[in-house]
A = this chain, B = another copy of it.
Amino acid sequence: MKNHRIITISREFGSGGRTIGRLAADRLGIPCYDEELINRIAKESGLAKDFIKESGEYAPSTSWFGTALTGRDFSGHSISDDLWNIQRKIILELAEQGPCVIVGRCADYILRDKADLLTVFIHASLEDRAERIVRIYGERPELTPKKRLQEKDKRRRAYYQFYTDMKWGDIRNYEIALDSGKIGVEKCVDMIVELYGNR
């Protein structure tokens, strides 16, 4: 696996990180695991895809209320922990198969020291991301775009921290971090593709 060069993309919700990952993979002629990864986890776990998508963003809580919500039993074990183990196993298997792009799901952490990683973080200002999510996902009358973004970011941060014990979005964890709002999606792709060959 050490010989395989793998791009991991961590991203703020609405930054276009998923699109950037897919475009970079297309340009490099390697697979991009995003929806595909969810499908595999769903198949292996028997859980619904929507549940997996959501649970990749919720940190298992240790409060009583959290216990009720996430199904953590009295030994402290939860469905989230099972999912984490299945996700970890599948990401390791995919990395074994060859070069690829993996979007989200703590792949940077799971594969650290296990593959030749190019770790990427994509972010953008609240304003740029709000504009993007309304354009792509449409309005949600009950919640302002900024509130939606802040909630998603909060969950991703908590999930990442719970399972990796590292800070999500800590500048030191990424080989390159880009502001997609300022730089633009296409140029972000160019820079990642250029860096991928830089070994």
Contacts and interface: CB of A to CB of B under 8 A. Distances in A.
A100 B142 CA distance: 46
Contacts of A177: 121, 171, 174, 176-177
Contacts of A198: 183-184, 187
A71 interface: no
Interface string A127-157: 0000000000000000000000000000000
**Taking chain A's interface residues, is the majority helix, strand, or loop, or is none over half, making it mixed?**
mixed
A89 B172 CA distance: 32
B171 A123 contact: yes
A182 interface: yes
Interface string A178-195: 110011100100010011
Chain A contact-residue range equals 20 to 34
A191 B198 CA distance: 11
Given A123-B172, A125-B172, 18 more contacts: A121-B171, A121-B177, A123-B171, A169-B171, A171-B171, A171-B174, A172-B179, A174-B179, A176-B176, A176-B178, A176-B179, A176-B183, A183-B195, A183-B198, A187-B195, A191-B194, A191-B195, A194-B194
Interface of A: 121, 123, 125, 169-172, 174-179, 182-184, 187, 191, 194-195, 198
The 3 closest A-B pairs by CB, nearest first: A177-B177, A171-B171, A175-B179
29 contacts: A121-B171, A121-B177, A123-B171, A123-B172, A125-B172, A169-B171, A169-B172, A170-B171, A171-B171, A171-B174, A174-B177, A175-B178, A175-B179, A175-B182, A175-B183, A176-B176, A176-B177, A176-B178, A176-B179, A176-B183, A183-B195, A183-B198, A184-B198, A187-B195, A187-B198, A191-B191, A191-B194, A191-B195, A194-B194
